[in-house]
Amino acid sequence: MGIAFESLYSDIAGRTGKLTVGKKTIKTPALLPVINPHLQLVTPKEIQSMGVEALITNAYVFSQSRQFRERALDEGLHKVLDFDGVIMTDSGSFQLSVYGQVSITNTETLFFQRDIGSDIWVPLDIPTSPDADRQTAEQELAITMHRLAEAREVFGKDAPLAGPVQGGIFNDLRERAGRQVTDLGFPFCPIGAVVPLMESYRYQDLVSVVMAVKRTLTPSACVHLFGAGHPSMFALATAMGCDLFDSAAYALSAKEGRYLTTHGSFKIDELADLPCACNVCRTHTAEELRIAPDRERLLALHNLYVTLAEISRIRQAIFDGTLWELVDERCRGHPQLLSGYRELLNRTISLEKSDRISKRRFFYRGDESCSRTEIFRYQQMLSRLQLGNSVLVAFDGGMRNEFNDTLFFKPPFGPYPKELKETFPIGQSEIPEWDDAMVRKGCRGIKILIESHPDSRFVVSCNPCWEAIVRQELGNIEVRNDQI
């Protein structure tokens, strides 16, 4: 029994890992499709055949269902849904956030989740609306925390309990909640009440909330982003350290005639072609899909394929160390995602701590790339270089004998000794034609070098076209024209 999480590869604050629940283990990051027993566009068995190892369903719906309640209690959830992977059950908190109340208590829903054989149980947390004032958020958080403590007390520390983290949009409350959930020993922590933020494209607030929780949550906890189902934001959320997503979006979008892609959704009525490699899209034209009698099901299948493919792409990116490139690509799909991405880039210093040492490559993708963790880490390392009395930083790569040391220059990283030419990140970074932003950033590296070596004299030799930037960044440093 119990829940255990082990991380394998990491990139930024994201990781691939293994979540073990009882005797079952699933790969993370993972997507848990949401199953509504009354409305199965795609059956759990079909979903399992697509490679899905875990799904989530709503225990409250089962508990209120004349059709399913007794069957679930008698036969168990896995039999009723015909799925032998991991099944997580939600408590009814979502109904609480929509309808304001539910006719079930915390311990009642947990006993029910246990009795129907759920693999992961969720207490009755209170999803605080982002509009709630501080006092309300604080009161609701206190109730949630009380219920989590009650759950641990009644069911013991080995029960497969999730510990949802609430706190509204107040970062200090989210930090407090993360700390308390950690202190209570929950190894599995969903971040709650983020659906309204995502529905209104408030990705900047989402980044702020998730990063606040991650600051205090133990890194060994498996983090589930509750209700996150649009594939365009998985890369961003993974980069912050979210391990699980649950998607009702695949089915809800299908009902509304929406076709998901990794860079946004389209109304099926507006599509002239189907830009996707999945089976549905390769065997139908846009017109055929539009008028198909089982259009909702076909759309749900496509949406699920796209969503699952994105999870695989993210796992591969983490393995390769190319998650920043993927986040950059995805976050250009919507201006609000770009805002979220920029908010993430503001947190380079804390992200650098969990980032890995070496990666397959670093592709420069414009100004945003200048804020990446690898540059911050490289430039911090520069202060440890041992240098003589006179140092030349040669933009053109040419040696001059009159100096004790000659360093070369690769923007956006900055100066480097020839011994680092083949090592990460200097050797594995691909940059286009130099631009102002990257040269300016590289000059910050020279600045760190100068400040950390007060006994050395520094000279920069560069093409005259960079002289103005060098002087702006480095003040009255000696600059030579490298064309002479």
Residue with tokens 């380079």: 348
Segment interacting with ligand GUN (CB under 6 A) among 22-30, 90-98, 350-358, 380-388: 90-98
Q: Is the dihedral of CA 251, 252, 255, 256 positive or negative?
A: negative
Of 302, 372, 440, 444, the one binding Zn ion (CB under 5 A) is 302
Could you check whether the bond before residue 29 is cis, i.e. omega within 30 degrees of 0?
Answer: yes
Does 192 interact with ligand GUN (rule: CB under 6 A)? yes
Take residue 443 and report the two structure tokens written for it.
Answer: 């000059």
Does 439 interact with ligand GUN (rule: CB under 6 A)? no
Burial class (CB in 10 A: 0-12, 13-18, 19+), 384: exposed
Does 122 interact with ligand GUN (rule: CB under 6 A)? yes
Distance CA 355, CA 12 (A): 4
Distance CA 226, CA 283 (A): 33
Residue 94 interacting entry, from ligand GUN, Zn ion, none, C-beta within 5 to 8 Å by type:
ligand GUN
Q: Is 198 helix (H, G, I), strand (E, B) or coil?
A: helix
Nearer to ligand GUN, 140 or 310 (CB): 140
Q: What does the DSSP assignment read for 3-61?
A: EEEEEEEEETTEEEEEEEETTEEEEESEEEEEE-TT--SS-HHHHHHTT--EEEEEHHH
Q: Which residues contact 67 (CB under 8 A, 6 or more apart)?
A: 37, 38
Residue with tokens 């199965």: 40
Distance CA 195, CA 266 (A): 20
Nearer to ligand GUN, 168 or 425 (CB): 168
Say whether 82 is catalytic: no
Total binding residues toward ligand GUN, as defined by CB under 6 A? 13
Contact between residue 19 and residue 30 where contact means Cβ atoms under 8 Å apart = yes
- Work out the end-to-end distance of the chain between its first and last CA atoms, rounded to an integer number of angstroms: 73
User: How many separate helices (H) and strands (E) can be counted in the chain?
Assistant: 21, 19
Segment interacting with ligand GUN (CB under 6 A) among 77-85, 91-99, 144-152, 475-483: 91-99
CA angle 392, 394, 395 (to 5 degrees): 150
Nearer to ligand GUN, 93 or 261 (CB): 93
| Residue nearest to ligand GUN as judged by C-beta position | 192
Does 321 interact with ligand GUN (rule: CB under 6 A)? no
Interface positions, 253-272, toward ligand GUN (CB under 6 A): none
Least Å from the CB of residue 138 to ligand GUN: 16
Please pick, among 11, 82, 90, 435, the residue that the annotation labels catalytic: 90
Distance CA 357, CA 224 (A): 26
Of 32, 41, 110, 195, the one binding ligand GUN (CB under 6 A) is 195
Segment interacting with Zn ion (CB under 5 A) among 212-220, 260-268, 301-309, 414-422: 301-309
Nearer to ligand GUN, 89 or 262 (CB): 89
Amino acid at 81: L
Distance CA 198, CA 337 (A): 10
Interface positions, 55-84, toward Zn ion (CB under 5 A): none
Does 238 interact with ligand GUN (rule: CB under 6 A)? no
Does 160 interact with ligand GUN (rule: CB under 6 A)? no
Nearer to ligand GUN, 207 or 474 (CB): 207
Does 205 interact with ligand GUN (rule: CB under 6 A)? no
Beta strands per DSSP E along 142-187: none
Nearer to Zn ion, 120 or 299 (CB): 299
Residue 236 interacting entry, from ligand GUN, Zn ion, none, C-beta within 5 to 8 Å by type:
none
Q: State the residues that interact with Zn ion by CB under 5 A.
A: 276, 278, 280-281, 302
Catalytic residue ranges: 90
- Site residues (vs ligand GUN, CB under 6 A): 90-91, 93-94, 122, 125, 127, 164, 192-193, 195, 226-227
